[in-house]
Amino acid sequence: MSHPYIEQLSKDLILSHPSLREGEGKHVLQLGNDLTASITLREGDFFLQGMLGACPASNAEEFLCTLMHANLFGQGTHGAVIGMSDSGNMLTFSQALPAPPNYPQFKEKLEDFINYLELWQGKVAAALNGAR
């Protein structure tokens, strides 16, 4: 069973290019070629997740320190958390989101998450390409 906010988001997205599909207990929001976020319902709340990319091998220690600093109190992630996949080779971006009281607040928080996901994907890509 889907949450009313997910149903409304699906209706809103019909008018734009992103797609929302359901699979394996989560909803996958495809926003572009490399920008995908998943929304999983857990006990009435939402769990948001996206992939940032591979962990840079060059200057890995320095870059991981940058990520830890961003995670500190959520100051560089807007409350989300940068982590590593189970395999340890991919960086993840996740946020537990208690169900907001209304749909506009849910949509705003989802948009914030996606904006920070895109920001950090760019930083990871730049680190992989050797830029600073």
Cβ atoms < 10 Å from Cβ of 50: 23
Residue 1 has pLDDT above 50, yes or no: no
Top-confidence residue, 5 or 23: 5
Task: Give me 81's structure tokens.
Answer: 């958390």
Q: What is the pLDDT of residue 20?
A: 65
Residue 25 has pLDDT above 80, yes or no: no
Q: Residue 83: is its pLDDT beyond 90?
A: yes
72 backbone dihedrals φ, ψ, rounded to 5°: -60, 110
| Per-residue pLDDT tens over the stretch 94-111 | 999 998 889 999 999 999
> For the domain that residue 46 is a member of, what is the CATH number?
3.30.1460.10
Average pLDDT, the chain: 86
Query: Domain count of the chain?
Result: 1
Closest by CA to 54, choosing from 131, 125, 132, 130, is 125
Between 17 and 62, the more confident residue is 62
pLDDT of residue 76: 94
pLDDT at residue 131 tops 60? no
> Which residue range is the domain that position 60 belongs to?
4-128
Q: Which residue has the higher pLDDT, 110 or 15?
A: 110
| Percent of the residues in the chain that have a pLDDT greater than 90, as a whole number | 49
